[in-house]
Amino acid sequence: MPEIEIIYNEKSYKINENDRLRDIIDIFPESLRGDIIAIYIDNILYDFHTPIRGGGVVNLIKIGDPRALDILRHSTSHVMAQAVKRLFKDVKLAIGPSIKDGFYYDFDFSDGISADDLPKIEEEMKKIIEEDQPFERFTKPRDEAIKYFEELGEVYKVELIESLEKEEEISFYRNGDFVDLCRGPHIPSTGYIKAFKLLNLAGAYWRGDERNPMLTRIYGTSFFSKADLEKYLNMIEEAKKRDHRKLGKELELFSFHEEGPGFPFWLPNGMVIKNNLLDFWREEHRKAGYVEVQTPILLKKDLWVRSGHWDNYRENMYLTEIDDYPFAIKPMNCPGGMLIYKEKIHSYRDLPMRVAEIGHVHRHEKSGVLQGLFRVRSFTQDDAHIFMLPTQIEEEIIGVIELTERIYSKFGFTYTLELSTRPEKSIGTDEQWEIATSGLENALKRLNKEYTVNPGEGAFYGPKIDFHLEDCLGRLHQCATIQVDMSLPERFDLTYVDKDGTEKRPVVIHRAILGSLERFIGILIEHYGGRFPVWLSPVQVIVLPIADRHVDRASEIAKALFESGVRVEIDSRNEKLGYKMREAEVKKIPYILIVGDKEVESGRVSVRRGGKGDIGSFSVKDFLERIGEEISSRNDAE
């Protein structure tokens, strides 16, 4: 059998082609073997069961790695499907992937089930886990695979295989008495599942298409330890209180309507947050040397053919015709930005050019994946394109990372970094990829940033750095991204005149910091639990007169605050003070000013900090100084 060479910890090992990870586990230190879930070799992922086809550098995926959790959860979805098949004999299987924070499996039940059935399924899953069933991978020719599932009556599996037009060998995974169509990867055995929980049921159209049958989707999650599961379940309970869809309605920030599914309607309070975010964004970008542009929302088909979107992204685009010619609503800002660069000849002295755009984009998302502001069909993207010399990549990456850090720190966010490298299918030369990847790596190292490498997960046109932002509940959200692009400069024939008078290609960095402004605001709502810092809060101060005789003085105070630029309201309703205070707390207004006999007589005002209680008596002048500093510095006083 032919030998291939793999490299681990700078040591070379010869293994037989088609060996599996389980066959070569002795190569790795004994102290690590029990933690290894899978490996990358030359950016290709192998679990314990997949034949190794080629050599290269080995990277381990161990317990504790987020990718190991993905593998664990996908395997748990198989265990759940196995338990369901044992309990419900006529059920048909659809798909069961891992997803963010868990997994699901879609089933077609002949008689249906309810949430009351979930504990019974969990008990059956525990039996399967205790059996410590090893996973086993095998393949069948396409025709045999179709016949296999036809004989089982698994119509959804047959349809899936038939849609895999280019694949003649179809892979399966078996554990115990259960066999499923699957690419993998999987954990070594079911015993690796230490803690899991089935969470809820939902309806889901087969393949996300409302014309197809409605299936039952069972959601769950799993972890390598019971402590991690408990932490997650506690987080879910807290997250329910902070759900941005619930708070968005209560605080009158945004709404959705049947007339525009997936298209958010921004209400006055929400527009205050959005506009203040954009003011902050523009201020920081001006300091960082960016200019701002705006490109049309509707552009001809020719542009999207040239950019590659027409062939690769058309199903996610909204199309129309103008004067009998096809146009598309832009799903991305990049192609328009390339046209702006091409408007004139550029010298090497002009570079780097940092060009930013707050662009309104539209993407056709299936109705089943829409989720409040987190997944919409229309959103605002804070794009920027940096056109530069190849020698400027490193410095520009450093600049983007530092700008991102300044913006995130304003909200108290921390983040982790992930470097994604060249995928198996890519464009560009080895030299171009080496320059781009080295630029990203060197920038991270110069800033002493910790990062993980995600082998083979870069864009087809270049490597990238992703920022995974951590909110107050410890949840990670992928927001900022920095991508080095070698495709669009070629497609759009971008050039600059170099020192020697020759035309050369610039390098382009695509980057977003907030990402989708809608999604970022959704994250902020949940991060703050709706209680925004003063500079972002739609209403910053509410003035509460205790009785009718105090209304005139309260109105004077509200007017003084308004004229100083403070967003202020007055609640002069004939209601008890306690009732009005509780309502102000529900609205999560940062400052509550109380005006009664004592305050009218002294010329002062009693101040309560929302969520914290009484902070004392202030003159109007002193209070204005306090809140003015909070607003201008964009920092809370406490």
Query: Looking at the annotation, which residues are catalytic?
Result: 334, 363, 381, 383, 385, 464, 510
Q: Are 77 and 98 in contact (CB under 8 A)?
A: yes
Using the structure block, give the residue that is written with the tokens 């909200």: 411
Q: Which two tokens stand for residue 118?
A: 């979930």
Question: What would the two tokens of residue 618 be?
Answer: 């202030």
The Cα 299–Cα 320 span in angstroms is 10
> Do 580 and 547 contact (CB within 8 A), yes or no?
no
Q: Are 157 and 93 in contact (CB under 8 A)?
A: yes
Antiparallel, parallel or unpaired: β 414-420 and 378-388: unpaired
* Alpha-carbon separation of residue 510 from 297, 378, 436, 487 (angstroms): 19, 20, 13, 12
CB 480 within 8 A of CB 361: no
Write the CB contacts of 311 (distance below 8 Å, at least 6 apart in sequence). 305
Q: Would you state the torsion angle of the CA atoms of residues 40, 44, 50, 55, taken in this order, to the nearest 10 degrees?
A: -80
DSSP string covering 99-131: ETTEEEEEEE-SS---GGGHHHHHHHHHHHHHT
Among candidates 542, 634, 525, 524, which has minimal Cα distance to 590?
A: 542
Angle at 424 between CA 423 and CA 427, to 5 degrees: 75
3-state percent helix, strand, coil for the chain, nearest multiple of 5: 40, 30, 30
* Radius of gyration (C-alpha) of the chain in whole angstroms: 29
Environment class of 548 (CB within 10 Å of its CB; exposed 0-12, middle 13-18, buried 19+):
exposed
Helix (H, G, I), strand (E, B) or coil at 254: strand
Whether residue 352 has a cis bond before it, omega within 30° of 0? yes
Task: Return the H-helix or E-strand segment holding 630.
Answer: helix 620-633
Place of tokens 């902020």: 524
Q: Within a 13 Å sphere around the CA of 588, how many CA atoms are in the beta-carbon half?
A: 19
Surface-to-core class of residue 14, CB atoms within 10 Å of its CB (0-12 exposed, 13-18 middle, 19+ buried): exposed
Other C-beta atoms closer than 10 Å to the C-beta of 182 total 21
